[in-house]
Amino acid sequence: MASALNCWIICSAMLLLQSGGLFSEKLRTLKVSDWWGKAGFYQIYPRSFKDSNGDGVGDLNGITEKLPYLKSIGVKAFWLSPIYKSPMADFGYDISDFRDIQPEYGTMTDFDRMVTRAKALGLKIILDFVPNHSSDEHEWFLKSENRTAGYEDYYVWHDGIPGNNPLQNDPPNNWVENFRGSAWRWSAKRKQYYLHQFHYKQPDLNYRNEKVVNEMKDVLRFWLGKGVDGFRVDAVPWLFEVADFRNEPVSNLTSNPLSPEYLVHIYTQDLPETVDMVYQWREVMDDYKTKNGGDTRLLMTEAWSNLSVVANYFQDSNKKQGSHMPFNFQLILRLNQMSKAADFKTVIDSWLDIVPGGHTPNWVLGNHDRRRVASRMGGEHMVDLMAMVELTMPGVSVTYQGEELGMTDANLSWEQTKDPAACQTSEAEYTKYTRDPSRTPFHWGNSSLAGFTNGTKTWLPVAANYQTVNVQAEQTASKSHLKVFQELMKLRDSSDFYENQYGTVVLGTNVLAIVRVDCKGVYVTLLNIANATETINAEEAITRLNITKTYEKSRVLVASVSSKRSIGDTLQLHEVVLQPYEGLVLRSGATLLFARVLYILATITIQRLFS
């Protein structure tokens, strides 16, 4: 009873201080109200996760086989890059049947078996929903190209404008695709251009056609009926383009008119209709739960847009709900190996500032389109530090396969390159555009081909360091990135790691402190983002957040691979020596200065009475 009373007094004092505007640093409050707000998500790139039949390509049965691994590292849900039937021009993002499985990945029976196994393990399943385009081999496109009744306007068609060629008009405007080149492709059969904002084999669906809108909603309902727990929505910003097809303005960032950076994409991306479409999909999710019961079906949206745009996906001015989880890509877009601790705080706070009250923040470190964390941030010494940011900040984490091991990008030759974004360039510049280095097969062990397959080849080469960076090696090592990741995930599951107050503080130039406080004490994450020893006073972080407790010894809960400390070690917060690139997560219990708290409460009360 006394402990509960003390806890109430402390928390009341903290809230009064915060509401009184006396904090020198911003202290925020996290409340979690749904299963996904407590979840660690894991992205699987199916081609590269686990091959079960020896053909060198990952598949559904391989995923099912390895689901216990996901359970063991503490994730609660996984999302799959596209597994739908596809000619594989863009490795599954060119879909020829939204309701069937790509044969090299398996069958619908295999999918059902995977769902059953995942449910048995308590894992949620998220599918990649690719609404912007289909394959040019999809039945819908073939019918549209032939002007079959009811399908004429399923895609974005245009006559083009008269030019020098009497047999074929010029493209309608200056729009360029995301993979470089004109966004328009001539159909000799239909005698019109179709829009493709990605590969020419990925024609854009026409969302100004209500039939298309309803068709794609039915696709969502189909997979929800198969037991899927939600969707990650691909390439959201490109859903709509202006109806009058006007030219986009030139950016002056490059002189190459075929480069996507040549234009400012104000007429082909981030239109208001796009936001509304996301809200309509949210209604599908909510309606399905209402009719069928069970947990919330989750909507996660991919938009690499400015924060002012991404903010619109959460909710509108009337608090109508949109995406449960607009992906936070700020850790990818704005941090690199040159970043200082202040940059980390700026990036973190800029995201938190757009998350509306009642919504949960999320943290994404990487995906199949970007360089891996270790390669992007300058080496494996940053792997644990980035994981500590992702997993000790409040909210949802999204981890791309292999990041928990510290996997790095592979060096692939021009001959080994498969990514269409690179293959459409040249040998001289393909390395600028290829996404293949982060898509190489997962490292399960140090046997031939990293234990990814029992065959003799893999669809992309295995990275050269697989013999030391793999699950088997890191599970048996005394210290490893995998073990750090697992400890962090266990910490996230502890009952007092939710619904608390938190803040970030920069200590000196190179140390970022993440502080999370509850009525029992504080968690302090200390990250030395420098190749130099740093001596800091960690109590300063607590003081600057005006937390009304004092702390004596702190206990190490998690230590980075680079740290010489072990779990359970104790240290004094007022003087902490951090080795280069050392990261620590500490737990400190409170020594309550009861009289001091009562004094603060009385002082605040008196001030308010006489103000």
Task: State the span(s) of the chain assigned CATH 3.20.20.80.
Answer: 35-130+328-483
- Residue-by-residue DSSP string for 57-82: S--HHHHHHHHHHHHHTT-SEEEESP
Average pLDDT over residues 487-513: 89
* Confidence (pTM): 0.92
Q: Model confidence at 590, in pLDDT bands (50, 70, 90)?
A: low
Tell whether domain 2-30+500-598 is in CATH 3.50.50.100.
no
Q: Is the pLDDT of residue 4 over 50?
A: no
pLDDT band at 49 (very low <50, low <70, confident <90, very high): very high
In this predicted structure, the answer to whether residue 16 has a pLDDT above a threshold of 80 is: no
Least confident of 113-127, 329-343, 561-575, 596-610: 596-610
Q: What is the pLDDT of residue 491?
A: 93
Give the pLDDT confidence score for residue 608 in this predicted structure.
56
Token digits of residue 242: 């202006």
| Whether the predicted pLDDT of 329 surpasses 90 | yes
Q: Identify which has the larger pLDDT, 589 or 415.
A: 415
| Whole-number Å distance between alpha carbons of 477 and 598 | 50
Q: Which residue has the tokens 């699987």?
A: 44
Q: Using CA atoms, how far apart are residues 409 and 446, in angstroms rounded to an integer?
A: 17
Between 119-123, 500-504, 506-510, the lowest mean confidence (pLDDT) is in: 500-504
Residue 306, SS3? Answer: coil
Contact of 28 with 352, CB cutoff 8 Å: yes
Report which of 585, 520, 518 is spatially closest to residue 557, judged by C-alpha positions.
585
Mind listing the pLDDT tens digit for each residue in 190-217? 999 999 999 999 999 999 999 999 999 9
Q: Which two tokens stand for residue 285?
A: 């999710």
In this prediction, residues 511-534 reach a mean pLDDT of 94
pLDDT of residue 318: 87
For the sheet with 157-158, list strands across it: 157-158, 192-195, 184-187
Q: Is 35-130+328-483 CATH 3.20.20.80?
A: yes
Query: What is the model's pLDDT at position 229?
Result: 98
pLDDT band at 9 (very low <50, low <70, confident <90, very high): very low
Mean pLDDT of 334-359: 96
User: Could you read off the pLDDT of 281-326 as tens digits, one per residue?
Assistant: 999 999 999 999 999 999 999 999 999 999 999 999 888 999 999 9
- Rounded (10°) CA dihedral 477, 480, 485, 489: 40
Over residues 87-117, the pLDDT tens digits come to 999 999 999 999 999 999 999 999 999 999 9
Quick check: 260 pLDDT over 80?
yes
Domain with CATH 2.60.40.1180 in the chain: 2-30+500-598
- Give pLDDT tens digits for 455-496: 999 999 999 999 999 999 999 999 999 999 999 999 988 876
User: Looking at the predicted structure, is the pLDDT value of residue 22 above 70?
Assistant: no
pLDDT given for residue 609 in this prediction: 52
Does pLDDT of 441 surpass 50?
yes
Position 518 scores a pLDDT of: 82
Residues annotated catalytic, as ranges: 234, 302
- What's the average model confidence in pLDDT over 409-426? 93
Q: Using the 8-state DSSP alphabet, how is residue 447 labeled?
A: S
Q: What is the pLDDT of residue 500?
A: 76
Average pLDDT of the chain, as a whole number: 92
Does the pLDDT value for residue 592 go beyond 70?
Answer: no
